[in-house]
Amino acid sequence: MTSFIQNTDFFAGNNPETIASEYGTPVYVYNEKILRDRMAKVAKVITKYPYTANYSVKANTNIHILKLALEEGLNCDAMSIGEITLLMKAGFPVERIFFVPNNVAPYELAFALKNGVMTSLDSLSQLELFGEVCNQMKIEPEKRKCAVRINPGVGAGHHEKVVTGGKKTKFGIAEYSIPQIFEIAEKYQITIAGINQHIGSLFMDPQPYLDAVTNLLRIAHQFKNLEFIDFGGGYGIPYHKLDEEKEFPMEDFKSRLEPILDEFVASYGKAPLFKSEPGRFCVAEGSVILGRVHATKENSGIQFAGSDIGMNVLVRPSMYDSHHDIEVFRDGELVSRDEADLTEQTVTGNICESGDILAKNRLLPKIEEGDLLCVLDTGAYGWSMCSTYNSRPRPAEVMICANGKVKQIRRKETIEDLLSMF
Ligand SMILES: *Cc1c(COP(=O)(O)O)cnc(C)c1O
């Protein structure tokens, strides 16, 4: 059996126990080399035609990680004014930011227009609203440019809650409504510069995505002179890596994508800028959470290990039934899964909810009080979905830099922070 931590030398020679005692637990620990590696990979999904990868920042908006994305040549997708503001603060020029919101208020569209950020509209009514806001702001016709999000009619993903592309999901404009897109665009003198889609999150088989690309390119023929076509994100990562699950087959995916693009470029007469929107793939594997076990007990035959990694720190297991591999450290040493007797245990947090479960009936080395848990693949939808539920301040984030040094990239929230809003 493998250890991801050992195979990747995740802590680069630093002892996790030292990190835990210096910054407290729970703490998010990032590895700069892994983050950069994954970002560099998505930057090269298409090499034959003009292409940009837009890192979908909702996966992780730590400003230091946004700066890595900037350095790795990625553009970014933002979902809110908050995300746009963080990106601008991280140094992204507005041309490298794409606003992909849904159900937003006029002031949010006005914010994007005022700052020159390209926006994608997710419904006919939002497109109409965009036109109204342009009128109110007296935007010149040449500057009335936007994209529209198409609902591809097909979806994929690891959980119903993250499949975004099905006919009945809330996202995008149905294909049969495309004629009305043109009517609204003409009414407000808007140029539809791009189309985008997103079928869902976390697929390991490229085929549904390739089918969705083919489908969007078929739809693209209805739009003249598109500047860009954006296929969306969702590339998966192996959450069961301790059981030898393989990485997303990026090379295979790329070689199957290219002929689809060749065919489109030949029939469309030009190559627009192609884009994709990976979030998880860029950041998930570049982070772990270290947390402390404070209690163990047995209840009706179930062996529980109680830690400080509650659902407020990592919500994915309780929200999506997601699996996160766990490695166990004792006195600063990895407890080897090969040598230990693995027993079925349920790992929980410290939140007053029976659903506060990190791992259910999981085969793990027998966990003892004082052990340090290392939860893998927490860089995406980890800290960004943290909450202060039970009035617990949100954890610190530290980075293992490429030179092996440990740097704090977000301080721990304090009780004073919680009180400061009253
Ligand atoms: C969340 C999201 C993404 C990124 O999804 P991942 O599964 O993290 O790659 C891309 N595009 C849109 C529109 C999204 O909402």
235 CA closest ligand 1 atom index:
9
How far is residue 25 CA from its own chain's centroid? 23
Q: Over the stretch 175-205, which tens digit does the pLDDT of each residue have?
A: 999 999 999 999 999 999 999 999 888 899 9
Q: Is the CB of 60 under 6 A from ligand 1?
A: no
Residue identifier of the C-alpha nearest atom 12 of ligand 1: 198
- Which ligand 1 atom is at minimum distance from the Cα of 236? 7
Pairing of strands 372-375, 326-330: antiparallel
Is the Cβ atom of 379 under 6 angstroms away from ligand 1? no
pLDDT greater than 70 at residue 70: yes
- At residue 156, the pLDDT reads 66
The pLDDT score that the predictor gives to residue 227 is: 98
In this predicted structure, what is the pLDDT of residue 201? 84
Q: Is 198 in the pocket of ligand 1 (CB under 6 A)?
A: yes
pLDDT class of 55 with cuts at 50, 70, 90: very high
Query: Which tokens is 15 given?
Result: 């002892």
Averaged pLDDT for residues 11-37: 98
Tens digit of each residue's pLDDT (9 = 90 or more) over 354-383: 999 999 999 999 999 999 999 999 999 999
Atom from ligand 1 closest to the CA of residue 149:
13
Q: Is 306 helix (H, G, I), strand (E, B) or coil?
A: strand
pLDDT at 160: 74
Q: Is the pLDDT of residue 78 over 70?
A: yes
Residues forming a β-bridge with 344: 363
At 371 the pLDDT is 98
Q: Which residue's alpha carbon is at the smallest distance from atom 15 of ligand 1?
A: 198
List pLDDT tens digits, range 122-165.
999 999 999 999 999 999 999 999 999 999 887 666 677 777 76
**Residue 266's pLDDT band (cuts 50, 70, 90):** very high
Asked if pLDDT for residue 170 goes beyond 90, the answer is no
C-alpha neighbours within 13 Å on the C-beta side of residue 286:
31
State the distance from the centre of ligand 1 to the C-alpha of 277, rounded, in angstroms. 6
Token pair belonging to 397: 């984030």
Over range 240-254, report the average pLDDT. 96
Cα torsion at 300, 304, 308, 310 (round to 10°)? -60
Has residue 350 got a pLDDT over 80?
Answer: yes
Counting ligand 1 atoms within 8 A of each CB, the residue from 45, 123, 149, 201 with the most, and so the one to mutate, is 201
Q: Contact, 31 vs 294, CB < 8 A?
A: no
Ligand 1 centroid – CA 149 distance (Å): 13
Where do the DSSP E strands lie in 270-395? 273-276, 287-299, 302-307, 326-330, 333-334, 342-348, 357-365, 372-375
Q: What DSSP character marks residue 413?
A: P
Beta-bridge partner residues of 229: 195, 274
Residue 86 reports pLDDT greater than 70: yes
For the CA of 381, the nearest atom of ligand 1: 8
Q: Where do we find the tokens 């076509």?
A: 229
Mean pLDDT computed over 35-58: 98
Nearest-CA residue for ligand 1 atom 13 is 198
Average pLDDT, the chain: 96
Q: Among 41, 45, 56, which is best to mutate for testing ligand 1, by the most ligand atoms less than 8 A from CB? A: 56
Question: In the prediction, which pLDDT does 339 show?
Answer: 77
For residue 197, report the distance from its CA to the centre of ligand 1, in Å.
10
Task: Tell me the CA–centroid distance for residue 8 and ligand 1, in Å.
Answer: 26
| pLDDT confidence of residue 340 | 76
Q: Which residues are catalytic?
A: 352
pLDDT at 169: 78
- The atom of ligand 1 lying closest to the CA of 164 is 15
pLDDT of res. 1: 58
SS (H, E, C) 166-183: ECCCCCCECHHHHHHHHH
C-alpha distances in Å from residue 24, one per residue of 308, 341, 397: 11, 29, 10
- Give 422 Cα–ligand 1 centroid separation in angstroms: 34
The pLDDT, as a whole number, for residue 229 is 98
Question: Whole-angstrom Cα distance, residue 3 to residue 292?
Answer: 19
Residue from 75, 198, 237 whose mutation best tests the ligand 1 pocket (most atoms within 8 A of CB):
198
pLDDT of residue 157: 67
